[in-house]
A and B are shown apart, each in its own frame.
Chain A
Amino acid sequence: MSDPATLQKTALFDAHQKLGARLVEFGGWLMPVQYTGIVDEHKAVREAAGVFDISHMGEFFVSGPFAKSFLNGLLTNDVEKLEVGQGQYTLMLNEDEGGVIDDLIIYRRREEEYFLVVNAAKIDEDRAWIENELENPNGRGVLFSDRSSEYSALALQGPKALEIARAFLGAGWAEPKRNEITSYSWNCQEILTARTGYTGEDGIELFFSNEIAERFFLALLEAGKPFGLKPCGLGARDTLRLEACLPLNGNDLSSKRTPLEAGLGFFVSLTKEADFPGKAILQKQKSTGMNEKLVAFRLKDKGPPPRPHYCLYAGAECVGEVTSGAPSPTLGYGIGMGYVKSAYALPGTTLDVEVRGNRMPVEVVKKPFYKRAA
């Protein structure tokens, strides 16, 4: 681990310590990995609600009359589709390989103002890349600012999350629909509330200033207590998102993998007029087909959980590699995702995963492992 003194801390650091959190390094930040335990927190999110500190993530604003066309020439999804108050999942790709720089959610906050939430570990790289793109003619007159250092954020997720949000924010809160974003005034400060998340449950992501962060977080925990709300760390965040087959940049996504290989074609618009970095490569890949695909697989019997970089075998041949793996607290068996040669990507395919020199049978399954009740 890096020298803790050089790691960044969110505005909730003191609160985490008071709550007895175990802290770890993540993308240059000192973050809670767990409070009461990963399995306990995971179950809380599936059964009631959990709240995660996501203040380390990045917040960018892009605005002006040329913002829409600039962003549509930058990101894979179709920004034209967004009405004011709507958000969408999208990706930024590199030019040479159509590989992923970052995955993010973009929200149309106002007519000509877009709010982008990016991964913590990629803030600097994303900003540099956008600033570079702004130099192009497409970027003329576009206003861009990285306001990550001003914002703190929380993810409130679970079947009781909306009930808790309503109780906490009160009747004056305009509740966003799925993927929408609204704002709310809490003690005269603007809170952005988005109906998005990374757990496979319903929930809200809240963005607000660092000044009110600790007060807001503790007040929310208090309001959520009667509903069973628990603070949750990155450990549970990972097992939850894996059960929902949500990819993690750095594991399932990388600069060497296209979103089509990752099964994210739904979030790539090859038909939109705008050209974006990587578009041509993806168009070619769509017509020629993919050599490898990201699959979800499960251990067939009880056994050690799959972990990143373990090899996947078809007979004696290594045909792929695990990119994410963990025990599934909800399902009770080991689950994972990994890239395999396309011939082995069909659900129902049996492979072996090698764990510490032993091969255990796994089965490719349809994504996601877990889907919440409607």
Chain B
Amino acid sequence: MSTIPEQLHYAASHEWIKVEGDTGTVGITDHAQQELSDVVFVDLPKVGAKIAAGAVVAVVESVKAASDIYSPVSGEVTEVNADLVKKPESVNSDPFGAAWLYKLKLSAPAELEALKDAAGYKAMIGE
């Protein structure tokens, strides 16, 4: 069983996005961190990078493997979570809070419609 906050949008590849105006905050879900297990390193994008929806924007490394993170929407990266350099394990302990990965300015808000809501994500992961 995993946590699936109501107010977020979800990608099929297990990223979540919280939208406030035209800014989005992106992270990975509780389900994803359970699958990955111990996260040891996070590779984040550069501030200013222009990302297309579905493109690899970050890498989350667990003990056994490196996993690509795909941006749920297109936009320009405005901030990255520097705390993850010192504490990559917070991805496991607080995937929806302290372990947000990056923030971006949305360039095509209509893309949000292609994402799932909490119920849709819950159904997708079979919980």
Contact = CB atoms under 8 A, between A and B. Distances in A.
A303 B63 contact: no
B38 A33 contact: no
B43 interface: yes
Interface stretch (A34-42, A100-108, A281-289): A34-42
A239 interface: yes
Given A38-B38, A39-B38, A304 B66 contact: yes
A210 B37 CA distance: 31
Interface of A is mostly: mixed
Specify which of B37, B66, B85 lies most central, judged by the most chain A CB atoms within 10 Å of its CB. B37
A305 B59 CA distance: 12
Contacts of B64: 33, 38, 235
Interface string A285-325: 00000000000000000111101000000000000000000
A37 B38 contact: yes
B79 interface: no
B43 A302 contact: no
Contact of B37 (A34, A304, A307, A327): A34
Contact of B85 (A34, A37, A235, A302): A302
A38 B63 CA distance: 7
Nearest to B59: A356
A356 B37 contact: no
A305 B37 contact: no
A118 to B, nearest CB: 25
A74 interface: no
A37 B41 contact: no
Given A239-B63, A327-B63, A356-B66, A303 B38 contact: no
B40 interface: yes
A271 B30 CA distance: 59
Contact of A327 (B40, B43, B59, B85): B40
8 contacts: A38-B63, A39-B63, A235-B63, A305-B61, A327-B61, A329-B63, A356-B43, A356-B59
Q: Which 6 A-B pairs have the closest CB atoms?
A: A327-B40, A39-B38, A38-B63, A304-B41, A38-B38, A304-B61
